[in-house]
Amino acid sequence: MLSIIKRDLINVCLNPALLLYQTLFPLLMVLVLGLMNRNLYDSDLLSVHDYYGIGIIIYMAVNIAIIATNSFMEVSIKNANLRIGYAPVATYKIYLSKILATFVFCMLSLFALSGIFHLLWGVNFGDSFLLFMLLIASLALFSCSLGVMFCCLLKSEETANKILGLLILFLSLLGGVFFHPRALGDGFAQFSALSPVRWTMEGALRLIYDSDAAYIAPAIAILSVLTLAAILVCQKTFKLEDYL
Amino acid sequence: MKKVLSIRNLQKSYKEKKAVKGISFDVFEEEVLCFLGPNGAGKTTTINILAGILNEDHGEISYRGEPFKNVLRKYKSELGIVPQDMAIYEEISALNNVKFFASLYGLKGEALETAALDALKRVGLYNVRKDKPKTFSGGMKRRLNIACGVAHKPSLVIFDEPTVGIDPQSRNHILSYIKSLKEEGVTVVYTSHYMEEVEEISTRIIIIDYGEIIAIGTKEELKETLGDTDRYTIDVDNGRIDTEKFYAIDGIKDVAYKDGKLSMDVIRGVDSLDKVVAELIDQDIKLNSLNKESDTLERVFLNLTGHSLRA
């Protein structure tokens, strides 16, 4: 299992498009959103870069679902992944290794991005950085499982990515990654409570600015249950012939 | 010889289309069993079922006397698969590709390194082992595809059209390699739609068409089905031909004409060529070329299925 995870992790890292997408893209997002909205959030307590630094970290943790689908069923590696199935390897290891490899890739990149955001814009991650990252890790693991689950259900990376792209955008908008949901009205703000991104965003902001960790445990627990559910769906639906 | 695989009444459909229609055959130890059939005949579906990645709708498969799903782990560990599509990672070196796939069969450390290097040597890629497959020609990729499938030294290897679209040098290399596997006592199942390859390497041949087995036998046994005739295939200018008149010539049977191609079977040993040419001249037909086929697999296929293999 470890050798497959290692192989999958190297495959993701050797894909320049994915690598740039997970590193350069968030930097540009914070830069551009910071410039566009510098009058909205700038205060002594919360700068625009603070808001978007945290928001984009959370967005990238959700968006990793797209990379998980690539790692699982992207055309250029699909046949090689199928070859793993010819070997005496349990089928679950094939999809689980993709979830875990993408998760490791995501966390490494998010740790690096957090450092860069802090250095470039002084983004404040509070005093409980590890707890913050634990929350982000729960969201990222859920997203990786979701990405692979969509592939298992739809049997196609392309279709999975199309649907996931929309879902991620919707969950991120609900979650207040780009602007606070209240900006679209109270109804929308209430509805946004359904988004795991919202719980994570809310939990992160409370943890950082109020030193309030009350949201963290429930958010991690719910995300863990959702992750397990997604993995169970993979177990039920994934067949080696899906690679054919 | 011992049976390695025994397949009975294997069936597989994709929605409405029946890809494999109840085929039965055995694979014996140390033989090279070739599946010969056109694209869409059901070869790859059969291979995917035997590889354990596609579920059959119906049928029984035994591996060394046991239902293969009961001994799937053992079966897979003794099986090597060389799929039709390239199943390699383009971004890592040839050596790392082979090492990774061989490691899935439990090889580690020095044994893994030795097995990978040996496999690369045998397919002629040792000198480019550190290069990435994305820099390889199609033929080199096919050879790497083979090395990845056999580095763990399986006792049964399934090749699915391993020579499609490659240069003659690589093709010869692959065919020599398969012959060397046979000499080492490895059992090989090989699919192809190239007659010459099948003729060159096979111990036994299964002719498959539209999901059904048409014939099984050694090439000599299959050629016996042709009886004692040769075939003339004559390219002529399009025009009216009275095919009936050819039956008057000694030894001529089964005359057919279509789209400028006149074909006829002729009893072996009866010298009728001069008379056939004379008849064409009599009918004022311009002859462009004439080919005499004896007992080729192409004719066997045509004889058994009623159509040409490449059609």
Of B74, B79, B148, the CB nearest to A83: B148
Q: Of the segments A177-181, A187-191, B43-47, which one has the largest average pLDDT value?
A: B43-47
Q: Is A59:A110 a contact under the CB 8 Å cutoff? A: no
If you average pLDDT over residues B29-41, what whole number do you get? 89
Q: No. of H helices and E strands in chain B? A: 10, 14
Query: Which value does ipTM take for this structure?
Result: 0.82
Nearest residue in chain A measured CA to CA from B75:
A88
Closest to B75 in 3D by CA, of A174, A202, A86: A86
Of A4, A80, A84, the CB nearest to B88: A80
Q: How far is B157 from chain A (nearest CA, A)?
A: 12
> pLDDT tens digit string along A144-162?
999 999 999 988 888 999 9
Kind of pairing between the strands at B3-14 and B17-28 = antiparallel
> pLDDT tens digit string along A187-197?
777 788 788 88
> pLDDT tens digit string along A50-74?
888 898 999 999 999 999 998 888 8
| pLDDT at A228 > cutoff 50 | yes
Residues of B in contact with A73 (CB under 8 A): none
Of A4, A11, A88, the CB nearest to B76: A88
Nearest residue in chain A measured CA to CA from B91:
A14
Amino acid A118 reads: H
Q: In what order do the strands lie in the sheet with B229-236?
A: B252-258, B261-267, B229-236, B287-293
Q: In what order do the strands lie in the sheet with B212-217?
A: B79-82, B156-160, B187-192, B32-36, B204-209, B212-217
* Residue B154 structure tokens: 């399986």
Q: Is B208:B42 a contact under the CB 8 Å cutoff? A: yes
Kind of pairing between the strands at B204-209 and B3-14 = unpaired
DSSP secondary structure, B222-287, as one string: HHHTTTTEEEEEEEE-SS---GGGGGGSTTEEEEEEETTEEEEEEETT---HHHHHHHHHHTT--E
| pLDDT at A20 > cutoff 90 | no
B91 to A14: CB separation less than 8 angstroms, yes or no? yes
A80 to B89: CB separation less than 8 angstroms, yes or no? yes
The band of B157, judged by pLDDT with boundaries at 50, 70 and 90, is very high
pTM: 0.81
Helix (H, G, I), strand (E, B) or coil at B69: coil
B134 Cβ neighbours under 8 A, 6+ residues apart: B90, B91
Q: What pairs with residue B216 in β-bridges? A: B206
| pLDDT at B311 > cutoff 60 | no
Q: Is B221:B203 a contact under the CB 8 Å cutoff? A: no
If you average pLDDT over residues B59-71, what whole number do you get? 91
> pLDDT tens digit string along B230-239?
888 888 886 7
